[in-house]
Structure 1
Amino acid sequence: MALPPWLQRQLRALLSLRGHAVLLAGAPGLGQYELALALTRAWLCEHPSGDGACGACDSCHAIDVRAHPDLFVLMPEQQAIDLGWPLDPVTQERIERKEIKPSRQIRVDAARAAVAFAQLSHTRPQGQVLLIHPGERLNVESANTLLKTLEEPPGRVRFVLATEAAHALLPTIRSRCQTHTMAWPTEAEGRAWLAAEGAQECPGLTDADWAACWRMAGGRPDEALAWARLGVTERVWRALPRQLAQGDAAVIGDWPLARQVQVLMQLCHDAMAVAAGGKPRYFDAAALPPVPAVARLSAFWRVLQQAWRTVEHPWQPGLWTEAWAQRTAAVFAPGAAAGAALHSCP
């Protein structure tokens, strides 16, 4: 699949770098993983050009089928499963036997396996590549395991790390990489890509629907497509702020909990922006409910941040959604007593 034009421009620039480790950092939804994989393909390609990999050689095919002997992909197990990367046989068997659940963090054992991979001889003249995504899922122990190899890689080993939260990486990891800040697409090229890419996945959406997804995503193409997959249309987008403010979570009840927290944070962000005399970013100003006091919104933002840090815990989804619907309605209800609902948090 061809890269979007804004990622292709960045790939050309990255191919001119001479360091052994690149960190792709930026906001969620800007294509870090796609760019990291494209860079990996170019590094390992037998016939690369200034535009990237050829897409036709044995190396490119081996990456396509997730079987390149000189590529190690270091990811949380759940993410590897979602993206089609094979797990090591022992971990795969333990998951199938339900002895463990797929991890959402990068385990230290996986980091040790990556270090062991780097000690092996490469099978092709292009060397070896270690792709790490998302970098913020390295815990302290797994990050420290990689440090020595990242600083002094043996042989022809190169690293590409992708992250949506560079601040969460250890400073010692960041300092050993050349950081590339992800570029944002223009609205014209982002919207054009979104409509073309989404035509097959979300048929029937109008230009106004895609515009609503684009706005809700804050101008991030991957995020806009994710909102469309969840059923966001112009009608949903315009009704959502007041529905949430009234405690009506029917539209978002089937969404993943992380997306539910995200949309509540977007509502809170836009309400605070309006309260401060600014413009909303994610919703239309006319669609927002009456804005409560800034102090109440600030308190709500703090508990939402706490919820975001714990959203991957095994909550009971229905109860979780109902609790947050009531809490949101309390924040936007008239009267000072509404703040009492913020003192407890799922």
Structure 2
Amino acid sequence: MSVTLPYPWLEAPLRELLAHQRGHAVLLAGPQGVGQFELALALAQAWLCEGAEGHAARPCGTCASCALVASHTHPDLMVLLPEALQEELGWAPLEAEPKASQAKPSREIKVEALRRVVEFAQQTSSRGVAKVVLIHPAERMNAVAANTLLKTLEEPPGMARFILSTEAIDALLPTIRSRCQHLRLSPPPEAVALAWLAQQGMPRPEVLLAAAGGQPVSALQLQQQGLDAQAWLQLPERLAKGDAEALAGWPVPRAVEALQKVCHDALCVVTGARPRYFAPECFRHARPSLAGLLAWSRELSRVARHEEHPWNAGLMLESLVSDAQRALHSDAI
């Protein structure tokens, strides 16, 4: 394989896909923080590659087709993302039309986009190799969009191939799942992840790797967002003390996710299990009760369902810290 993948642990699953491909559609299922989108894009590049002889050598990374994929301009590749992910992943909108309102970018993949997919798949390949559609994350398709895709998956045009990437495979229609070849993508071994994070210049990588649930790409993103190992380890103690600055400046969705991890590990400590995201000593100043933590967990789940609500971020974060302090000392109430 000539092309260099962004994450070394993706090489084996890509080889497996290329060696054992069957059918016209692949479904990649697993956590996003291990490079799921990057694997899907590498597979699309391999399917469109023009410069290699035989599957084992694809993608070459040097042919004209590979260059077009790298520049996001390949005429036979359609990458379908929710508006909210397009900028983050570096892919321009399908149609660069000015928005009439100041509404937040959509987190859904809507039926209009799937109609464009159907039209795209039915067109003749510009370079004569294949037509490839990459949908990520596939669980973001609404019900109408998913059914629109299903019709094309059932009777695909001759040169069309599909890659669906999902973190929530059970959220997809069973009829869509049944028409795809599946590959489950797991986090790499801890030693591999730690070595890679150390190569990226991360001090104490084991702390943020644990904070990200063993997902190295997510761990690197936490560092890029300004989080360091010491700040993460201090978070439960600062919340237990009601430190209003503990979450200052955090986007509400990111703060809620961090609080859910604190709540999860506090529940582990109370029930005698090993914490997942923090060291056990991070909870030495907390006095939580099981009932208090369960109530807090339910409240955080409620807030997470409405994380896109236009909250006053400052007031919301103060309220979240107050709730955390109360829950982490619920045994004293």
TM-score (norm 2): 0.92
User: What's 1:123 paired with?
Assistant: 126
User: What's 2:291 paired with?
Assistant: 295
Cα-to-partner distance string for 1:192-234 (whole Å, 9 max, x where unaligned) = 11122x33xxxxx52x2x2211121121111110111122223
Aligned with residue 138 of structure 2, among 135, 159, 163: 135
Q: Distance in 1 between matches of 2:118 and 2:276?
A: 43
Query: What amino acid is the match of 2:143?
Result: V
**Contact 1:127/1:157 (<8 A) preserved:** yes
**Contact 1:215/1:282 (<8 A) preserved:** yes
Q: CA RMSD in A?
A: 1.8
Tell whether 2:195 aligns with 1:192.
yes
Q: Distance in 2 between matches of 1:30 and 1:222?
A: 5
Going from structure 1 to structure 2, the CA distance change for 1:99 and 1:304 (only over 3 Å counts) comes to closer
Once the two structures are TM-superposed, the CA of residue 61 in structure 1 deviates from its matched residue by: 0.9
Tell whether 2:231 aligns with 1:236.
yes
Going from structure 1 to structure 2, the CA distance change for 1:308 and 1:65 (only over 3 Å counts) comes to same
User: What's 1:30 paired with?
Assistant: 34
Q: Distance in 1 between matches of 2:102 and 2:260?
A: 36
Q: Which moved more, 1:38-47 or 1:73-82?
A: 73-82
Query: What amino acid is the match of 1:315?
Result: W
Q: Secondary structure at the match of 2:26?
A: strand
Q: Secondary structure at the match of 2:163?
A: strand
User: What's 1:62 paired with?
Assistant: 68
Going from structure 1 to structure 2, the CA distance change for 1:134 and 1:266 (only over 3 Å counts) comes to same
Tell whether 2:157 aligns with 1:180.
no
User: What's 2:16 paired with?
Assistant: 13
Percent identity between matched residues is 46
User: What's 1:305 paired with?
Assistant: 301
Aligned with residue 256 of structure 1, among 235, 251, 255: 251
Cα-to-partner distance string for 1:49-76 (whole Å, 9 max, x where unaligned) = 5253111111111111111111111111
Once the two structures are TM-superposed, the CA of residue 272 in structure 1 deviates from its matched residue by: 1.0
Unaligned runs of 5+ in 2: none
Query: What amino acid is the match of 1:161?
Result: L
User: What's 1:340 paired with?
Assistant: none
Going from structure 1 to structure 2, the CA distance change for 1:237 and 1:51 (only over 3 Å counts) comes to farther
User: What's 2:7 paired with?
Assistant: 4
Q: Secondary structure at the match of 2:27?
A: strand
Tell whether 2:295 aligns with 1:321.
no
**Contact 1:11/1:39 (<8 A) preserved:** yes
Cα-to-partner distance string for 1:114-170 (whole Å, 9 max, x where unaligned) = 111111111223211000001111111111111110122111111111111222222
Query: What amino acid is the match of 1:50?
Result: A
Unaligned runs of 5+ in 1: 200-204, 338-346
Q: Secondary structure at the match of 2:34?
A: coil
Q: Secondary structure at the match of 2:50?
A: coil
**Contact 1:10/1:183 (<8 A) preserved:** no
User: What's 2:160 paired with?
Assistant: 157
